[in-house]
Structure 1
């Protein structure tokens, strides 16, 4: 690592990323409630700011020399069974996929959703459970690492209220994001890699947008979200127990 991890660095990366997303989103002029309703609104209202955010995160990660600790655990969790929680989330993704009328999406719309999924999974996981987590670990106990990364991941969704989302909806989304972030943290700890969390995160968001835009019936897959969140909070202790992922500084 070129730069020794510190809490303030992780927090600065989080704040910088959130500011970039907010500013670029405001400049796009697309209200949050319009994102995912058309190809144009998705490209301009979501993909654009995520692309700028991705460039920022790639440059910062390379400059810090944090790719390895951001993407991998030194030791996986001894308790593997909590992986059933993110697997249930994957079931929700599959349900969303089969209950979506894909004939209502043209090629550009599908490409925008694919870009959205790739970028949101990469960006938000690298930022929260990658760089922020790496910055916290040398100075903070792992239970607080989980809590702070999940809380700030949830908190960043409050900016949606500034982008046109109802405040109540933004608050609810922040709470759900805290819980779903816990599920993504479980993926990292159990598999030993952030890649699985990136993939699951991207698939979940795309499936929710798609099923919300063109549902074939009740959004049963999305209804699993709160259930997954409760189960994640109930089981996260077991992947934290015995963890010592403080980076070896050289």
Structure 2
């Protein structure tokens, strides 16, 4: 790593990411409730800001030299069975996609959804459970790292209120994001790679937006998202138990070891 991880760097990356997303979206002129209702609103209101943020994340990660710790666990979770939670999440997403009325999407709209899924999966996972997680591991034990990184991931969604979303729904989304972010964290810890969390995150968001535009008779994503979140919170202890993912420089310190 070119630059040693520090907790403040994680907070700075989170704040910078939120500022970039909010600023570019505001400049696009597309209110948050309109995103996902048409190809144009999705390209301008979601894909554009995500693309700008993705470039910046690549630059920042390269300058820091944090690609490996951001993407790969040094030690996977001792307990593998909690992976059933993200598996349930994936099944719900696939069910929604399979039951979406795709005739309501033209080629441009479909491509915008795919681009949105790829960029959301990369951006939000690289930021929250990649760079922020790496930075926080330099200071705190894994339980705090999970809680703080998931809390910041949830708080990030409050920014939707600045983009035109109702405050009440933004608050609800922030709580659900904390819980769903825990499912993505579990997937990283169990598989040892952030890539799987990126793929699931992108798949989930595409399924949510597709159902939002062309609703299915039984919107499982809306019904089961809270259940998935509750399950994730109930089992996350077992992917943290018995692990210490703090950076070697921290764990090698006598003071840190005593703490």
Do both share a fold (TM > 0.5)?
yes
Q: Is 1:182 the counterpart of 2:163 in the alignment?
A: no
Task: Please report how far the alpha carbon of residue 249 of structure 1 lies from its aligned counterpart in structure 2 after TM superposition.
Answer: 4.3
What are the residue-to-residue correspondences of 1:88-237 with 2, within 5 Å? 88-237=88-237
Is the partner of 1:245 in helix, strand or coil? Answer: coil
**How far 1:91 sits from its partner (Å)?**
1.0
Q: Does 1:21 align with 2:15?
A: no
Q: Contact 2:21–2:53 (CA<8 Å) still a contact in 1?
A: yes
Q: How far 1:167 moved relative to its partner?
A: 0.3
Please list every run of 5 or more consecutive structure 2 residues that lacks an aligned counterpart in the other structure: 251-259
Q: CA RMSD in A?
A: 1.0
Provide the residue aligned with 1:247 in structure 2.
247
The whole-number CA distance in structure 2 between the counterparts of 1:114 and 1:69 is 27
Residue correspondences, number: 250
- Report the Cα distance in structure 2 between the residues aligned to 1:154 and 1:235, rounded to whole angstroms: 19
State yes or no: 1:84 paired with 2:84: yes
- Partner of 2:248: helix, strand, or coil? coil
Deviation at 1:222, TM superposition (A): 3.1
Matched with 2:255 is: none
In structure 2, C-alpha distance between the alignment counterparts of 1:185 and 1:221, rounded to whole Å: 19
SS of the residue aligned with 1:90? helix
Cα distance in 2 for residues equivalent to 1:9 and 1:162: 25
Task: List per-residue Cα deviations over 1:95-115 (Å, max 9, x = no partner).
Answer: 111221001000000000000
Identify the residue that residue 67 of structure 2 maps to in structure 1. Answer: 67
Correspondence list, 1:39-54, <5 A: 39-54=39-54
Task: Structure 1 unaligned segments of length 5 or more: list them.
Answer: none
